[in-house]
Amino acid sequence: MLNNFCSPNLTCTNPKKTFRKSSRIILIRELIIIAQKIMKDFRLFDIYDFLTDDDFIRWVQEAKKEDNEFWNNWLAQHPDKHLTIEEARRILQILTPRKSAIDDLEKEIEVKKLLDTIGAQPIDQPEPRVLHISHNKKWWYAAAVFFIALAATISYFVLTRNATAGKFDYTSVTPSKQLVENVNSSANPVRLVLPDESIVELSAGSRIAYGNNFDSSQTRDVYLSGEATFTVVKNPAHPFRVFANEIVTKVLGTTFTVRSFNKDSIIQVTVRTGKVSVYSQENTSNSETGMPNQLGGIILTVNQELLYKKSNREFKKTLLQNPVVITRDTVDQKTMVYDDAPLEKVFAQLSKIYGVSIVYDNDLMKKCTVTADLRSEAFYRKLDLICKAIGANYEIIDGQVVIQSNGCE
């Protein structure tokens, strides 16, 4: 049974059922297999897509002639998928248990036993696998004609589609909106330049669309499915907005990443430089979901990240797993060697270098000093070392570092 046929961003119909082999229709069967595979876009498949795909599984496990031909051919055309497919094959080989077969004689005995029990006449030579079932000849011929026609139609569409093959396919997302769309179906990120000179780095398996009046409209609107990093040219008069499912990220001029694949349960917005405002398009009040609606917005600054859970509309503002240094001034970094330095100074520098806000009770902790070399440590490690030195704990609340301590002696 071939279900779940299509990668998330393609619309296609359900395939016809495959039919039992018979000398009349082996050709048809091959055509059907090819036709069905054409409707899927294996180029967008990651290793888990292959591992759960019925066609791929059948090829690895059964190595039928028509499957071998198809896949070897496809691999020749897409050598970039070699490694992924090799890895998938290996995992599949491990996952597929050896076929077991009960001894034929044993089976015969069981069958005889069964028939005895139900009081039927035992059959002389039970050969369950060899059964002749007659077909209506006319029906098969009709089906053959139909599938030849179907395959022909599909090949026509495939050929015309392949004529414009390349990294980017230009199709309109919705005919009602006049949109320009860019699709990245390769396995590597792709760099695009928008009409306003903003730069988009589009990740693998992602697509982005914008109106062809992009440059002249009040807001610079972009629609995203997948993941992209934006470096937006500053233009306060025309805010730049990224629509990813129900989350809208609005900026004036900055660098940030939005991740929103259909298969993800969480939408992620990460800020590298500048500031963005994130809000939900769901028109509900603050109290219901906690997420501000269009009128308000959560502000994300550098090294901060917003995680939005689609299922229950929960959101969380937090720091990046690995915050990056934002000052270009290397002098600041060099000074992160402390010898009995007052805590206030240490936190001030840390805050400045990473652009992260650190909240602590200055009065309570004014006796605390730090002796440590923090130059080559990652942000959280620096925090750990400082807190260890002064006997404090920290917590990330709402994208800020909050220090808890009882003070120092």
Partner 1 sequence: MLGTDLLKRLQQNDSGALAALMGLYYDDLHNYGARFTADEALVKDCIQEIFISLWQRRETADTILSPKFYLLRAIKNKILKSLHKNNRTAFPNKEYDFSYELSIEEIIIEKQVNEEKIQKLRKTIELLTKKQKEIVYLKYYHHLDHTQIAELMNVTRQTVYNLLHETLHKLRSLLKADFIAQ
Q: How far apart are CA 318 and CA 169, in angstroms?
A: 36
Minimum distance between the CB of residue 62 and partner 1, rounded to whole angstroms?
11
Element containing residue 273 per DSSP (H, E):
strand 266-273
Q: Please, which residue, 102 or 165, has the CB nearer to partner 1?
A: 102
What is the DSSP secondary structure assignment for residue 320, as one 8-state letter? -
Q: How far apart are CA 357 and CA 345, in angstroms?
A: 14
Nearest to 385 by CA among 372, 368, 369: 372
Q: How far from the centroid of its chain's Cα atoms is residue 136's Cα?
A: 48
Minimum distance between the CB of residue 123 and partner 1, rounded to whole angstroms?
5
Minimum distance between the CB of residue 121 and partner 1, rounded to whole angstroms?
7
Q: Please, which residue, 87 or 329, has the CB nearer to partner 1?
A: 87
Minimum distance between the CB of residue 115 and partner 1, rounded to whole angstroms?
6
Three-state SS at 50? helix
Q: Please, which residue, 105 or 165, has the CB nearer to partner 1?
A: 105
Q: Are strands 220-231 and 206-211 parallel, antiparallel or unpaired?
A: antiparallel
* Burial of 235 from C-beta contacts in 10 A (0-12 / 13-18 / 19+): middle
Q: Please, which residue, 76 or 131, has the CB nearer to partner 1?
A: 131
Minimum distance between the CB of residue 100 and partner 1, rounded to whole angstroms?
5
Q: Residue 187 has which token pair? A: 């396995």
Minimum distance between the CB of residue 19 and partner 1, rounded to whole angstroms?
9
Q: How far apart are CA 25 and CA 310, in angstroms?
A: 47
Q: Please, which residue, 26 or 95, has the CB nearer to partner 1?
A: 95
Q: Please, which residue, 126 or 391, has the CB nearer to partner 1?
A: 126
> Packing angle between helix 379-390 and helix 343-354, nearest 10 degrees?
170
Q: Which residue matches tokens 């990330």?
A: 396
Minimum distance between the CB of residue 68 and partner 1, rounded to whole angstroms?
18
Q: Please, which residue, 101 or 237, has the CB nearer to partner 1?
A: 101
**Which stretches of the chain bind partner 1, using CB under 8 A?**
1, 3-4, 20, 47-48, 51-52, 54, 57, 61, 87, 90-102, 107, 110-111, 113-115, 117-118, 120-121, 123, 126-129, 131, 133
